[in-house]
């Protein structure tokens, strides 16, 4: 009874037609399967709607299959986004002195978020981080993940970016050197 209205509301609210809700059940007869090439956005269990992230079978970050949207996209590290938003924030502040323009609350919250989770705070360090990681011929996604998380060990790096260990890519020594380079940037920032 409850899952159809919720699905309809989500479809209309999100303007998405190819979503489904997974109905959690221990009974294999009542467990519903997802239609092919759709996105699971939530699990409806009892009276609880639990949002989830899912992917189509063609998408798998552990194999760098990120879907069409990411084929040509440039992924940014939180530190880069922080620099961009800080610049825009200064523009907002200048405009607000001249007129009745206010900084949108969602903008301020985004800025607070990237400030909190940025590993590098000054522009030179952010630029050096991108340059160092770019030397290793990483995919944009890999570069952004490593720049955001700054793993300390080879094992951590491979855990957060499993594609690093793919055949012919980077060996443990190269990953270790890359991580040491990141550590040096952080240390001298």
Q: Which helix (H) or strand (E) holds 22?
A: strand 19-23
Q: Do residue 83 and residue 142 come from a single domain?
A: yes
Each residue's pLDDT expressed in tens, for the chain with a length of 189 residues: 444 444 455 445 444 444 444 444 333 333 344 444 444 445 555 555 555 554 445 677 767 777 777 777 888 999 999 999 999 999 888 887 766 677 888 999 999 999 999 999 999 999 999 999 999 999 898 999 999 999 999 999 999 999 898 867 899 999 999 999 999 999 998
Chain position carrying tokens 């609210």: 13
48 plus 87 within the same structural domain: no
Looking at the structure, tell me whether residues 118 and 162 fall in a common domain: yes
Alpha helices for the chain (secondary structure H): 3-14, 78-98, 105-117, 123-134, 140-149, 154-160, 172-187
Are 91 and 158 contained in the same domain?
A: yes
The answer to whether the CB of 186 falls within 8 A of the CB of 129 is no
Considering the domain boundaries, does residue 49 fall inside one?
yes
Beta-bridge partner residues of 45: 48
Q: Is 142 helix (H, G, I), strand (E, B) or coil?
A: helix
Assigned token pair, 73: 């996209």
Q: Same domain, yes or no, for 82 and 166?
A: yes
Q: Give the number of domains in the chain.
A: 2
Asked if residue 60 is part of any domain, the answer here is no
Same domain, 112 and 41: no
CATH number for the domain harbouring residue 151: 1.20.1250.40
Asked whether residue 101 falls in the same domain as residue 147, the answer is yes
The domain containing residue 118 runs over which residues? 78-187
- Tell me if the pTM is above 0.75: no
Domain co-membership, 104 together with 147: yes
Amino acid 45: pLDDT: 53
Strand 19-23 to strand 39-45: parallel, antiparallel, or no bridges (unpaired)? parallel
């Amino acid at each position: 009874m409850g899952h159809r209205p919720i699905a309809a509301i989500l479809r209309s609210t999100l303007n998405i037609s190819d979503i489904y809700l997974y109905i959690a059940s221990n009974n294999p007869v009542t467990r519903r399967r997802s239609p092919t090439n759709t996105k699971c956005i939530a699990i409806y269990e009892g009276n609880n709607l639990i949002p989830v992230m899912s992917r189509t079978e063609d998408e798998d970050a552990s194999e760098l299959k990120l879907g069409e949207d990411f084929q040509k996209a440039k992924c940014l590290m939180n530190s880069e986004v922080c620099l961009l938003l800080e610049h825009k924030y200064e523009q907002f502040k200048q405009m607000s002195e001249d007129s009745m323009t206010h900084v949108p609350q969602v903008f301020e919250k985004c800025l607070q978020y990237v400030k909190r989770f940025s590993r590098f705070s000054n522009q030179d360090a952010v630029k050096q981080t991108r340059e160092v990681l770019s030397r290793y011929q990483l995919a944009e996604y890999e570069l952004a993940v490593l720049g955001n998380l700054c793993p300390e060990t080879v094992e951590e790096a491979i855990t957060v970016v499993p594609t690093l260990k793919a055949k012919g890519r980077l060996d443990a020594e190269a990953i270790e050197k890359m991580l040491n380079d990141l550590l040096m940037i952080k240390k001298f920032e």
